[in-house]
Chains A and B, each alone.
Chain A
Amino acid sequence: SAVISQKPSRDICQRGTSLTIQCQVDSQVTMMFWYRQQPGQSLTLIATANQGSEATYESGFVIDKFPISRPNLTFSTLTVSNMSPEDSSIYLCSVTGQNQDTQYFGPGTRLTVL
C-alpha cells in the first residue's frame, strides 16, 4: 500500500484566514480524495482530485471555499479558505489502492478555527 503524508498534522487558525493542507504520496496514483471528519462522525467526501483536470466537488462543497490543486500524480493540496469555527475538523486525504476500489489514508490534519 502507498505511504501517504500530510502537512501540517494540526493547526490552530484565526477566523477569516486560509490554510493549505498538503498530501504527498510515495508512488504515483490516479485518484486522490479529500475528506472531512467531524469528531465522532463518519467521513464526508469533499472532492475527488484528478491529475490534469479540475477537482470534482460533492454537494455542499464549492471550489471557492475548498480550492484543490493536483499538479502531479504524487501530490495534492486542499485549501480551506476564509475559515470559520464551523470548519474545525479533521481533514484527510486518501488514494486508491491497486484495485482502485480500496482506499489508503494519510494521517490527517486536525484543524481548529478560533
Chain B
Amino acid sequence: GQQVMQIPQYQHVQEGEDFTTYCNSSTTLSNIQWYKQRPGGHPVFLIQLVKSGEVKKQKRLTFQFGEAKKNSSLHITATQTTDVGTYFCAGPRSNYQLIWGAGTKLIIKP
C-alpha cells in the first residue's frame, strides 16, 4: 500500500545550525503538506506544495517538492529554540485523508 517515509527520526543540532528532514513517497503525490507539532501540542499546518520542483520559503524554512512529485524536504536555516518540535510530512490519500510520515524531531542541544 501507499507509504510515506520520513528521515531522520531525530536530529540534534546546536542552536544556529541548520536542520533538514526528508520525505519520500512510494507513489506520486498530487501534493505534499508539512506540519509542525510543538512538544505537548497538536500538529499545525505549515505549507502545501503542489507543483513539480516547487520551492517555497517561509522566513528561515525552505520547502521543496521533487520533480517526480514523490519526495520533499524541509530545511531550516540557523535554527532557533522556537523551532523545537516534530515536523511531519503528509500526502493525500483517498476521501480527503492524509498519509503521514513518521516525523522528525528537532532537538536543540543545550
Contacts and interface: CB of A to CB of B under 8 A. Distances in A.
Interface of A: 1, 31, 33, 40-43, 45, 48, 56, 92, 94, 96-97, 99-108
Nearest to B99: A45
A92 B43 CA distance: 9
B100 A42 contact: yes
B96 A42 contact: no
B30 to A, nearest CB: 8
Contact of B45 (A45, A56, A102): A102
A105 B42 contact: yes
Contacts of A41: 102-103
30 contacts: A1-B45, A31-B95, A33-B97, A41-B102, A41-B103, A42-B100, A42-B102, A42-B103, A43-B43, A43-B100, A45-B98, A48-B97, A56-B95, A94-B43, A97-B45, A100-B96, A101-B30, A101-B31, A101-B48, A101-B92, A102-B33, A102-B48, A103-B43, A103-B45, A103-B98, A104-B45, A105-B43, A105-B44, A107-B41, A107-B42
Contact of A108 (B31, B42, B45, B48): B42
Contact of B88 (A33, A40, A42, A102): A42
Pairs of residues from A and B, 3 with the lowest C-beta to C-beta distance, nearest first: A105-B42, A31-B96, A42-B102
For B33, B45, B92, B102, which residue has the most chain A Cβ atoms within 10 angstroms?
B45
B85 interface: no
A33 B42 CA distance: 14
Nearest to B4: A42
A94 B88 CA distance: 15
Contacts of B100: 42-43
Contacts of B48: 99, 101-102
A45 to B, nearest CB: 6
A108 B92 CA distance: 22
A98 to B, nearest CB: 11
